[in-house]
C-alpha cells in the first residue's frame, strides 16, 4: 500500500457502505436476542403453567361428587334439601363455583346443584362431539346417577342459558321452570348458511389462537384473580376460581363446545323457542360496557333480547341494574336478585300462578 492510500480505497468499500453494514449487523443481532428472549419467556410461561396447574389440583379438592357418565367422570355439588331441585348450568369457560352466592342463597329454600361440564372445573375432559344435545344428555344421565329426581327448575347463565333452554325442549317432562341469566349473545339466525358459519369459524380461529397462547403460557392465570375480585366474589374463593379457570383443559373444552359446534347450537337454539307456558324468568345485566360492538350489532342484540321473552307464554323479564355479565353472579346483591327470580319461578311452577 502506497503512502496516502487509505484502507477504504484498497478494499473498495466506502464509509457509507461500512455504516450500512454496521446497521445491518446490529439489527440482526438485536433480532436474534429478541427471538432468544421471547423463546425463553414462552418456555418459562409454559413451565409456570404446568407446575401451577399441578399445584392447584393438590390445593383445591372437588367440592362435590364425581360420577361416571359417557366414559368420563363428571363433577356435581348439591346442597340444601327439598324439591323441586334447582340445577345450575354455568356459561362458557365457567364452572360450578361461579354459582357460589346463588347456590348458598337458594340452599336455604330447596336442594340446589351446580355441575361442571367435561373439561371444566373438576370434571374430566371428554372427546367426541360437544354439541348442546350431547351435553344435555350427559347432564340428564348425571342427575339420574346422583339420585336427583325430576322435575327440575333449570337455571343457566350466558352460554349455559342456551343449553338450559335446549334442555327444556329436549326433556320437557323433566323441567317445570326456567331462569335464563344474561343469556349469551347468540342470535337464532346468526348464520344464514353453512358457508357463512365456515367463514366465521376461520376468522374466529385467529382470536382463539391468541387465547390459546395466553392460556398455555400462564398469562390467563395471572389475569383472572383481578377479574373475579372486580365481579364481587368473596376473597376466600377468588384464588380457587382463578385456579379452576386457568388450566389448558378449560380452553380446550370451551373451544370444542362453542366454536366447531356453533352451527349446531344455532339450530338447537332455534328449535327451543316454543316453551309453551313453562314458567320462565329472563334476567339481563344493565351494564353493557364490556360488550364492544358496532351499533348494528347492539341493535341486533336488543332485538334478540326482546325475542327471548316471547319463548314462553308465562315469562317475566327483569333488568338487574348496575350488574354486568360477570357481576350478575359474583356480586352478592345482584346474585340475590337472581335467587329471588328462581324462587318466584318455583312458586309459579307449584301454584300455577302467572309470573309477574
Tens of pLDDT along the chain (356 residues)?
Answer: 444 454 444 445 555 545 555 677 667 777 777 677 766 767 777 777 777 778 878 889 999 999 999 889 999 999 999 999 999 999 999 999 999 999 999 999 999 999 999 999 999 999 888 999 999 999 999 999 999 999 999 999 999 999 999 999 999 999 999 999 999 755 555 787 888 888 888 888 888 888 888 888 888 888 888 899 999 999 999 999 999 998 889 989 999 998 888 889 988 998 999 999 999 999 999 998 776 566 777 777 788 888 888 999 999 999 999 999 999 999 999 999 999 999 999 999 999 999 98
Rounded to an integer, what distance in angstroms lies between the CA atom of residue 185 and that of residue 243?
26
Write down the pLDDT at residue 38.
Answer: 66
Bond before 278 cis per omega within 30 degrees: no
- Reported as half-sphere exposure (CB side, CA atoms, 13 A), residue 156 has a value of 25
Cell numbers found for residue 114: 351446580
Rounded to an integer, what distance in angstroms lies between the CA atom of residue 218 and that of residue 247?
9
Write down the pLDDT at residue 1.
Answer: 47
Write down the pLDDT at residue 12.
Answer: 53
Q: Give me the phi and psi of 135, to 5 degrees please.
A: -60, -45
Write down the pLDDT at residue 36.
Answer: 76
Write down the pLDDT at residue 7.
Answer: 47
Q: Say if CB 167 and CB 280 are below 8 A apart.
A: no
Instruction: Quickly list H helices, the chain.
Output: 7-11, 15-59, 100-106, 132-145, 159-170, 194-216, 219-231, 235-245, 248-258, 262-270, 295-308, 327-330, 332-351
Nearest residue to 258 via CA among 163, 339, 338, 142: 163
Nearest residue to 76 via CA among 147, 158, 151, 182: 147
SS3 state at 310: helix
Rounded to an integer, what distance in angstroms lies between the CA atom of residue 338 and that of residue 317?
12
Domain 65-351: give its CATH code: 3.40.50.1820
| Residue ranges covered by each domain of the chain | 13-58, 65-351
pTM for this prediction: 0.85
Rounded to an integer, what distance in angstroms lies between the CA atom of residue 24 and that of residue 15?
14
Q: Say if CB 67 and CB 74 are below 8 A apart.
A: yes
Amino acid at each position: 500500500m502506497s503512502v496516502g492510500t487509505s484502507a477504504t480505497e484498497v478494499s473498495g468499500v466506502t464509509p457509507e457502505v461500512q455504516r450500512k453494514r454496521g446497521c445491518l449487523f446490529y439489527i440482526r443481532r438485536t433480532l436474534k436476542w429478541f427471538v432468544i428472549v421471547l423463546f425463553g419467556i414462552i418456555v418459562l410461561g409454559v413451565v409456570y403453567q404446568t407446575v401451577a396447574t399441578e399445584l392447584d389440583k393438590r390445593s383445591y379438592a372437588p367440592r362435590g361428587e364425581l360420577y361416571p357418565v359417557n366414559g368420563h367422570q363428571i363433577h356435581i355439588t348439591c346442597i340444601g334439601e327439598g324439591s323441586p331441585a334447582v340445577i345450575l348450568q354455568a356459561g362458557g369457560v365457567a364452572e360450578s363455583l361461579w354459582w357460589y352466592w346463588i347456590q348458598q342463597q337458594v340452599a336455604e329454600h330447596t336442594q340446589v346443584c351446580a355441575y361442571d361440564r367435561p373439561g371444566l372445573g373438576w370434571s374430566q375432559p371428554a372427546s367426541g362431539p360437544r354439541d348442546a344435545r350431547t351435553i344435555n344428555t350427559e347432564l340428564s344421565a348425571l342427575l339420574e346417577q346422583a339420585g336427583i329426581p325430576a322435575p327440575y327448575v333449570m337455571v343457566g347463565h350466558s352460554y349455559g342459558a342456551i343449553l338450559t333452554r335446549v334442555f327444556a325442549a329436549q326433556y320437557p317432562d323433566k323441567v317445570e321452570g326456567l331462569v335464563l341469566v344474561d343469556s349469551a349473545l347468540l342470535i337464532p339466525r346468526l348464520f344464514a348458511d353453512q358457508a357463512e358459519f365456515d367463514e366465521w369459524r376461520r376468522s374466529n380461529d385467529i382470536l382463539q389462537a391468541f387465547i390459546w397462547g395466553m392460556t398455555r403460557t400462564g398469562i390467563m392465570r395471572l389475569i383472572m384473580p383481578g377479574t373475579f375480585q372486580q365481579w364481587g366474589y368473596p376473597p376466600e374463593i377468588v384464588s380457587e376460581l382463578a385456579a379452576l379457570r386457568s388450566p389448558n383443559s378449560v380452553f380446550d373444552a370451551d373451544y370444542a363446545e362453542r366454536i366447531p359446534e356453533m352451527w349446531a347450537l344455532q339450530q338447537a337454539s332455534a328449535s327451543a323457542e316454543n316453551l309453551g307456558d313453562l314458567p320462565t324468568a329472563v334476567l339481563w345485566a344493565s351494564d353493557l360496557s364490556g360488550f364492544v360492538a358496532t351499533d348494528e350489532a347492539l341493535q341486533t342484540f336488543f332485538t334478540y333480547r326482546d325475542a327471548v321473552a316471547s319463548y314462553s307464554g308465562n315469562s317475566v323479564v327483569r333488568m338487574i341494574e348496575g350488574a354486568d355479565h360477570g357481576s350478575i353472579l359474583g356480586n352478592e346483591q345482584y346474585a340475590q336478585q337472581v335467587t329471588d327470580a328462581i324462587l318466584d319461578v318455583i312458586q309459579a311452577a307449584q301454584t300455577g300462578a302467572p309470573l309477574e
